[in-house]
Structure 1
Amino acid sequence: MKSTSSPLPAPVPQRISFAQATPEQRARAEEYVREELAAQFPPVLKGTWAGALQALQPDLWATSDRVGLDVYQLDRVADHLDALPAVVHARAGHGPRKLYFGRLPMNCPDEVLRALAELEADPQAGGHAVYQLVAGVARRHAEAEQFGWSKSPAPREADGTDSDQARAGLLARVAALDRARGLPTDT
């Protein structure tokens, strides 16, 4: 004979602030986050998960047998983990010791290079102010001594050219344009 009683209702989760959660509830929340997000992240130290929860202190949702986070809070934890240097380095396939400190590429804006090319095509086109603006910006990008961290010992420009050659080439183009306009050169 079939039972006429209805199945027990699912337990209703209760919201608990992170600050009021017990150590056991926090540990269970950490397990939940690791289970939900582990596939999205490279292997990270175990403390990273707990550190993210401690930093964000999200509200927890607890039943008698499970502690978790709502979707919004879980997304916040994922965003927090995404921004951690350890995760960024692990995703990039290198550790912090595989970064190189050196001169950064100049990455001169395309608009400046196009304007310079137009002036090279007709050196007398544009007024003195336009020429000074374009040549000045190009020189500043080529002469800038910007240093920082990169993934390779000799970072390249956006188009793949050697950074030092690109700088020398850009300065040579501006010097040639100076000569074509009849301006004094520094050399």
Structure 2
Amino acid sequence: MPYYLPFHAPPTGQCLPYHRATAAQRTLAGNYLHQRLGTHFPTLRAVTWTRALADYQPDLWLRGTVVALAETDLTQLAQHLATSPELPVLDPPLYGLPALHLAQHSLQASELAVWALGEVAAGATACGPRLEALLRRLVYPSPLAEQVVQAWCWNLASAPLLAPGLPGAPPWPDSAEIERLLNHLKFPGSPGGLVPGTGPGPAKQLFPGPLVRRVA
């Protein structure tokens, strides 16, 4: 089942802009932040937590003597703290389920764009510059998305579900057929209706196989 963060409504209580908070209230906000995220980043120094709050300045939510932060602010602060130079850089990197599902979505969009390119190039309808730019962007899948998908152990019973692929076999993203189709897009007002493409070349293909339904 895809992993999506639920939409979080603002917390209940009185909203207080960070710059109007007292030193005591900011300290309570720092304690709340550390309580929520401290297990994620156990090696960060205390000054790092304080600096993160001072830089970000989220709204504080007061409920009596309790000071809390909104979930959206916590999520963004987590990303900010994760980039702290104090933390070790993992090599090889780790990709979580959200990154995997985003990568699969990106690759499936590329697969759909390849199919659409064939339909547009074969049709009589002229292709506008925005559609051409969109197709040129999408028909070459992101190497990072392929890297994320390739990093997972798909032969395990506990592996996430594979995203459904499309039937048939569209041209490979790095094939000459893609460039041929791009160069045969029809443009309004152009001689003969054809304008050679000038977009970027194909992205490096990290491994062969269908764009979405691939198994390591």
TM-score, shorter chain, exceeding 0.5:
no
Structure showing greater radius of gyration is 1
TM-score by length of 2: 0.36
The structure whose residues are more often helix, as a share, is 1
